[in-house]
Amino acid sequence: MAKRNGTARIKPQGRGPGDEPVLARLRRHLEFLGLTQTLAELDAQLAWATRERPGATALLEHILGAEAAHKLEQRITRRIDTSGLAERKTLEAFDWAFQPGLDKALVLELARLDFVHRHENLVITGANGTGKSHLLKAFGLRACEQGIPMRYARCVDLLDDLHAGLADGTYARRLKSWARPELLIIDDVGLGQVKKRADEPTAAHTLYNLIDRRHDRVSTAVTSNIALSDWGRYLGDATLTAAILDRLAMHAIRIDIDGPSWRQHVAKTRAIDRGPAA
């Protein structure tokens, strides 16, 4: 006896082994193969095929193409979720005219991520709100789309994570995992308080361990709102900071965004929209 299988809308077109309707078998195959998108869209796809009457090759391409696009999108979403990138910033959403001092051609060239394949580093400096994080988040998104292993963290969060590893004996494992990605984005060096308890090494010490492991092997991209010459004071050790900068920044691609703050621009626009203050 044939089982109920929810195929009432489409007439079974034939019978096969075990007397199971062909449509039920098709659904079983799709489920077994994990072609979940095709399974979910099967009625619509069959309706399309009935309407358009494509050839065999075109029909297979249409159906498998949709499944492949869906699987790729799922994979990218998973990569983004595990990378630490909380928001999807894009270069398409970047207003170049607002930041005329920025070399657009260079940024677009970097966005191809060849520097990652060359294991080069990238350092973007500039005042708050000039779009440093936006650019690196957009690069991070591109990396996820291209299947390049990438992790994103604000500098203070990265240091907090490593220092938490000192307390629970997982420091070595955490250091290894931060050292691994082909692209590591360390955002906002200089922003926020680098916390340090008496039993913890300085931020400079921890960051040095990481940068030294990544050096010449994989690519690190950093943003900073303070001058590199102020990193020593911020990270708490001038000598180790010099060693970090030696590895990270000496041969890095450098961009300094000398321009207006988008945040201030938005705040001003809002104030104007509200009219003169009472």
Ligand X SMILES: Nc1ncnc2c1ncn2[C@@H]1O[C@H](COP(=O)(O)OP(=O)(O)O)[C@@H](O)[C@H]1O
* Residues forming the site for Mg ion (CB under 5 A): 133, 188
Are the beta carbons of 63 and 45 closer than 8 angstroms? yes
Residue 91 within binding range of ligand X, rule CB under 6 A? no
The nearest distance, CB 103 to ligand X, in angstroms, is 13
Return the residue of 134, 163, 214, 247 that touches ligand X, per CB under 6 A.
134
Q: Does 48 bind ligand X (CB under 6 A)?
A: no
Contact between 95 and ligand X per CB under 6 A: yes
Does residue 214 touch ligand X according to CB under 6 A?
A: no
Write the burial class of residue 120 (CB in 10 Å: 0-12 exposed, 13-18 middle, 19+ buried): middle
88 binds ligand X (CB under 6 A): no
Buried-state track 29-48, b at ≥16 Cβ within 10 A, e below 16: ebeeeebebbbebbeebbee
Q: Which partner from the list Mg ion, ligand X, none does 182 bind, CB cut-off 5 to 8 Å by kind?
A: none
125 binding ligand X? (CB under 6 A)? no
Nearer to ligand X, 97 or 198 (CB): 97
Instruction: Mark 210-238 as b/e (b = at least 16 C-beta within 10 Å).
Output: bbeebbeebbbbbbbbeebeebbebbbbe
Complex with Mg ion: residue 161 or 188, whichever CB lies closer: 188
Please identify which residue in the block is written with the tokens 């104030």: 271
Of the pair 37, 83, the CB lying nearest ligand X is at: 83
Q: For ligand X, which is the closer residue by CB, 208 or 231?
A: 231
Q: Does 94 engage in binding with ligand X (CB under 6 A)?
A: yes
In the complex, what is the shortest distance from the CB of residue 238 to ligand X, in angstroms, rounded to a whole number? 25
Question: DSSP class of residue 182?
Answer: S
Q: Which stretch binds ligand X (CB under 6 A): 67-75, 89-97, 108-116, 208-216?
A: 89-97
Residue 164 to residues 119, 132, 171, 208, Cα–Cα distance (Å):
28, 28, 7, 17
- Beta strands 253-257 and 122-126, pairing class: parallel
> Which of 176, 263 has the CB closer to ligand X?
263
Provide Rg for the chain, Cα atoms.
26
Nearer to ligand X, 42 or 153 (CB): 153
Element (H, E) at 185: strand 183-189
- Find which of ligand X, Mg ion, none residue 263 binds, CB within 5 to 8 Å per kind: ligand X
What is the pairing mode between strands 122-126 and 219-224?
A: parallel
Q: Name residue 224's beta-bridge partners.
A: 125, 189
Least gap, CB of 244 to ligand X (angstroms): 20
Q: Is 133 in the site for ligand X (CB under 6 A)?
A: yes
Number of residues counted as binding ligand X (CB under 6 A): 17
37, 38, 83, 99: which one binds ligand X (CB under 6 A): 99
Which residue, 183, 163, 182, is CA-closest to 171? 163
CB 159 within 8 A of CB 203: yes
For ligand X, the binding residues (CB under 6 A) are 89, 93-95, 98-99, 126, 128-134, 223, 262-263
